[in-house]
Structure 1
Amino acid sequence: MQEHYIYGASVQGIQGYIFETGKLKEIAGASEIVEQICTDYFEGFLKNECQIRGQITLIRKAAGNIRLICDKADAEKIVKYFPKSIQENFPGLSISQALVKYTGQLTNQEMDLLEKKLNFQRNKPIRPYLTGISAAIRAPRTGRIAYKRNDDKELIDRASWEKLQKGTDEAHHRLTKKFLDENKGRFPFDFSEIIHPGCKWLAVIHADGNNLGKILQSLGKSLKNYPGHVADGYREFSECLDRATTKAAKTAFEKTFQKSKEKVFPFRPIILGGDDFTVVCRADMAIEFTQYFLEEFEKETKEHFKGLVQGYSLEDFQDGLTACAGIAFIKESYPFHYGYHLAEELCAQAKKASKKIPGIPSSLAFHKILSSFYDDYEETKKRELTASPKDNQDKPIHFDFGPYAINKNTSLPCIQDLRDCVKTLEKKDAPKSGLRRWLSEIHHSELQAKELIQRVAQIAKSKEDFQVHEFDESIKKLGANLSLGNPMTNENKTPLFDILTLLSWEGEQ
């Protein structure tokens, strides 16, 4: 019986590679390199460097992962030359790879063994391709061997140089083509092109699908009843998920950004593969975009998974998948990798909250970094999002009201209700300064803060443009006992901090 091999490769340290720099052009170039490694570059490698002659069956080629079936001779070539090719052409990146031999038909047992081997390989240290001697000149930003000077005459290493070249060649970007039609504007190359005088903040958005492990387990069990279709099943799942995520991202982008008719869109995709999605955009458009994306992700996965559900009896997923997102609001000059790390943590917070609810609804969490120092979100909550007034230190007040669900039929507060509250406060006579004073006073005295907010509510009733009852109706949807004069729930949580965060972009205009 003929022997076959299933080959797996995973790009290691993708986040570290992309986000090690704070320059958007290099970030864009790094993300494009990661995108091409599993697609155009790998296809060219098989054809030109390996000169593959046998039949290759690709199972997956997205999000830094490659899975394929080949014969022994081709497997030996790929294993021998692919890591070397990656390190020669893209220094700073490395891959882990594994092989599993099988005869007859591919089964889940071989697929599971391949993943175990890959996990083992990821934990093995890989020797850097470019080390250099101690006397070599180093690039100041990275500490690696200097290779060339950039346009600012700064010495940079080879990896940074490759990122710059890819970042400049926008016309051939696979990521760009997923969003933009030809001659329909472009994405920015610098963070200064994203902000404008009305909003000087950036938003780093990271989204991730829910229940992906569960659907893969269900698919694996189901494929036991379909011998000979294991490779087809996993390939179809990977392609459907990738198409659904891409379509959801493109639709959300069109709804949020293309209506502005700007030549340089305040938006830059960074990672888009599988269910993993990371972008940076202007802060005042982030909530709207994320809300659209999560809604479209549910819709598109439901549509694209129809064939999988019917073909492999996956009725549990006939409604598609949900997703969660984290949004970190940062200043242009703030270290970008901290913003990404916070976005990941916020996404994890949203997932944790959603998993407590049947159906695991889509949700999002956000935070605006106000201090110059950031360690982790849990410490930030204690330091910035908790007030312990002197007259009631036993019952601290919490400003982290989220995460927020996309749909209203969950126990989580709804993001649209929060946006409605913000909208009522955009009017000229809205008591924005009074609410800010309350947030400041609550740190010192709960009693004085209560008297202050009641005065604010009383004065607001005399304003012509601002309608107190409209605000009360909106905020009551976030919590039954909430109102302008009583902005805290029975659990001592308030949505005012989040409301004023989203309102702050309007305040800069």
Structure 2
Amino acid sequence: MAGEYLLAAEADKIQDFIFRASQLQEVVGGSQILRRFCEEVPEYLRPRPAEVVVAGGGSFRLLFSSKEEAEQYGERLAEIYQRATGGSLTVADPVSVDGNFPEAASKAEKLLRRAKNRRGGAFSPVQMPYVAFCSVCGVGLARAWRQEGKGGARSQYLCASCLNKSREREDGRGEFLSSFYGGVLDEKDLSRYRWPKQAKDVACFDQRRHLAYLVADVNNMGRLFNRCDRAEMKELSQNMERIFHESLREPVKQLMERAGDDGKKLKENFIPFLPLILGGDDLFALLPAPWALDFTGKFVKNFNERIRKFVQDGLMMEEAAAPTINAAVVICKETYPFSLAHRRAEELLGKTKRLAVSLQYEEGINCSAVDCELISGSFAGEEVEAGKFRPSLRPYLVPAEGARGVPTGWGADLADLIQARYDLADLPQKRRARLREIFHLPVAGSREVEKTINRALREFVVRTQEVMPAGSGKENGLAANLCRALKSLGGGAEDREDEFLRKFGRLPKEKAEFGHGMPDLLRFWDFTFALDKKRSDYERGR
């Protein structure tokens, strides 16, 4: 419609604002502040927008009847955001719709990116010799001295932003968490449920006090938004949270069942999953480490199915327009800083996106990828390529339901890794140690890598048959399960059951010619439990 102007605005460095915290509940408080700001402020400010198209996850798309109203509103929105969060919000110049909303939205997005890159240089913060800085974030100027704990055991200075997050934190059943758990469980009355408040509430599910952080991000959302008219963009924005909730419903309920396996009343109606960030197309959450990888695989598959269905049935677009989601899991001790875990997960997420984009470009397949890392102490160990052999198949792929599977040379299905862990639950620790040695032979960098490792694996299978005959393991026997696991996580010629190495060819810069997923399984041995199986099913091979 002529005479309308589209205003685009976006919060800057949202993660910096949310992670300026010392406790997980303050991170949740930051997410709740952002959620309330997006839901309440756009309708509160004047001049009121003619239509709120998008308001969520720190992103705004608003329509006004005049350019002057849009500019005035943008200035006030940025000012209120700074007062509420202590952060900044970038506002682009209003764009005339002129009867073509998709073109105006695309232009507004470009202007917004340009405005973000055009920000001013460094500035000196206010400093005085008698002014205290915030004890939590160490950045903002203190506005209050607060005592917490019994008898004021913990006292600290707080800036305005951290004070607001602290207040939100005290509302343990606030809007952000109650809306999330209500949507995931599809229930309105949450009074009988409990959820984590601290990292130790989740770390208790692992004997060595490990927990997992999950980071997920949707690919190609910008491209999909640019194809939408105003009604479609509004509908997409309003339904993203519902799609996240429905995608998490099945794995979260299965996680609750596993939490109650030990029969302790303490864990009845306990939800061992804590969302720290959920806004727009981003998710950052805390969950128990033993089931983290299977949980992520199920969530990713559910999300891709639901977003595809919504794009086809809700937006009336072709299936190819549907975005996919990629994820990264970082497993660490409960004392490891959540901000560092998130930073590492973001680095891993970059690998998954490159792999998914390459697979789509080369093979024409929309497929998600999941990467993972185990941080021991403060070190994030990486499997390094050794010449022609790479002792890892990360990132793992998650094909769509009913898809033809993972193309040769592109890696392995995450579901194969989870299934292999169950099949090899009876494999003794000494056998696992020998298997680990085979994949780290000094010959790994030579031309004989394929022949040498295949021969060592054949000998290992024969020896396993001798020491653990058929009937000693699940179903067909441990040796048969071992062969199946080596083939599913490896490869080789389809007509040769004694060839186990998988050829690579997925990325142009990949120097390794062969790889195998068994080293990944051995590294993540205690963190590849299936959600549909009890923990006791995995305890015989310890």
Query: Which category describes the TM-score, using the shorter chain as reference length?
Result: 0.7 to 0.9
Alignment of 1:122 with 2:130, yes or no, is no
Segment of structure 1 superposing worse, 185-194 or 248-257:
248-257
User: Quick check: 2:57–2:278 contact (8 Å CA) kept in 1?
Assistant: yes
CA gap of 1:125–1:282, structure 2 versus 1, over 3 A, is: farther
2:263: which partner in 1?
none
Deviation of 1:306 (Å): 3.1
Alignment of 1:204 with 2:213, yes or no, is yes
Question: 1:171 is paired with a residue of what secondary structure?
Answer: coil
Question: 2:323 is paired with a residue of what secondary structure?
Answer: coil
Match of 1:463 among 433, 458, 468: 468
The C-alpha deviation readout for 1:328-369, integer Å capped at 9, x for no partner, is 112111122221122122222122112222222122111112
1:268: which partner in 2?
274
2:352: which partner in 1?
350
Match of 1:285 among 266, 287, 291: 291
Q: Give the partner amino acid of 1:26.
A: E
Deviation of 1:66 (Å): 1.0
2:420: which partner in 1?
421
Question: 2:61 is paired with a residue of what secondary structure?
Answer: strand
Deviation of 1:10 (Å): 0.7
1:364: which partner in 2?
370
Cα distance in 1, alignment partners of residues 121 and 65 from structure 2: 26
1:64: which partner in 2?
58
Cα distance in 2, alignment partners of residues 33 and 17 from structure 1: 10
Cα distance in 2, alignment partners of residues 153 and 247 from structure 1: 41
1:186: which partner in 2?
194
User: Quick check: 2:97–2:104 contact (8 Å CA) kept in 1?
Assistant: no
1:168: which partner in 2?
170
User: Quick check: 1:205–1:280 contact (8 Å CA) kept in 2?
Assistant: yes
Question: 2:92 is paired with a residue of what secondary structure?
Answer: strand
1:227: which partner in 2?
none
2:106: which partner in 1?
112
Alignment of 1:299 with 2:305, yes or no, is yes
Q: Give the partner amino acid of 2:394.
A: G
1:327: which partner in 2?
329
User: Quick check: 1:386–1:397 contact (8 Å CA) kept in 2?
Assistant: no
- For structure 1, which runs of at least 5 residues remain unmatched after alignment? 221-229, 375-379, 389-394
Match of 2:128 among 128, 133, 138: 133
The C-alpha deviation readout for 1:125-175, integer Å capped at 9, x for no partner, is 499998452431223453232333352223343322222221221322234
Question: 1:170 is paired with a residue of what secondary structure?
Answer: coil
User: Quick check: 1:9–1:98 contact (8 Å CA) kept in 2?
Assistant: yes
Deviation of 1:323 (Å): 1.7
CA gap of 1:103–1:88, structure 2 versus 1, over 3 A, is: closer
Deviation of 1:192 (Å): 0.9
Question: 1:87 is paired with a residue of what secondary structure?
Answer: helix
User: Quick check: 2:304–2:324 contact (8 Å CA) kept in 1?
Assistant: yes
2:81: which partner in 1?
86
Q: Give the partner amino acid of 1:207.
A: A
Deviation of 1:445 (Å): 3.3
CA gap of 1:267–1:437, structure 2 versus 1, over 3 A, is: same
Cα distance in 1, alignment partners of residues 284 and 367 from structure 2: 20
Cα distance in 1, alignment partners of residues 501 and 104 from structure 2: 55
Q: Give the partner amino acid of 1:58.
A: V
User: Quick one: percent identity of the two aligned structures?
Assistant: 19
Cα distance in 2, alignment partners of residues 348 and 113 from structure 1: 27
User: Quick check: 1:206–1:327 contact (8 Å CA) kept in 2?
Assistant: yes
2:532: which partner in 1?
none
CA gap of 1:128–1:419, structure 2 versus 1, over 3 A, is: same
2:515: which partner in 1?
493
User: Quick check: 1:194–1:282 contact (8 Å CA) kept in 2?
Assistant: yes
Cα distance in 1, alignment partners of residues 122 and 167 from structure 2: 25
User: Quick check: 1:297–1:321 contact (8 Å CA) kept in 2?
Assistant: no
Question: 1:365 is paired with a residue of what secondary structure?
Answer: strand
Aligned length: 472
2:506: which partner in 1?
none
Q: Give the partner amino acid of 1:315.
A: E
Match of 1:504 among 522, 526, 529: 526
Cα distance in 1, alignment partners of residues 392 and 339 from structure 2: 23
1:475: which partner in 2?
486
Cα distance in 1, alignment partners of residues 163 and 62 from structure 2: 31
Cα distance in 1, alignment partners of residues 219 and 272 from structure 2: 28
1:10: which partner in 2?
10
Cα distance in 1, alignment partners of residues 398 and 440 from structure 2: 31
Deviation of 1:251 (Å): 3.8
Cα distance in 2, alignment partners of residues 116 and 321 from structure 1: 20
- For structure 2, which runs of at least 5 residues remain unmatched after alignment? 149-153, 261-266, 445-451, 504-512, 528-537
User: Quick check: 2:205–2:290 contact (8 Å CA) kept in 1?
Assistant: no
- TM-score, with structure 1 as normaliser: 0.82
Deviation of 1:96 (Å): 0.8
Q: Give the partner amino acid of 2:332.
A: I
User: Quick check: 1:167–1:189 contact (8 Å CA) kept in 2?
Assistant: no
Cα distance in 2, alignment partners of residues 371 and 254 from structure 1: 31
Alignment of 1:386 with 2:384, yes or no, is yes
Instruction: Output the aligned Cα RMSD.
Output: 3.3
2:157: which partner in 1?
155
CA gap of 1:126–1:71, structure 2 versus 1, over 3 A, is: farther
CA gap of 1:175–1:125, structure 2 versus 1, over 3 A, is: farther
Question: 1:7 is paired with a residue of what secondary structure?
Answer: strand
Question: 2:392 is paired with a residue of what secondary structure?
Answer: coil
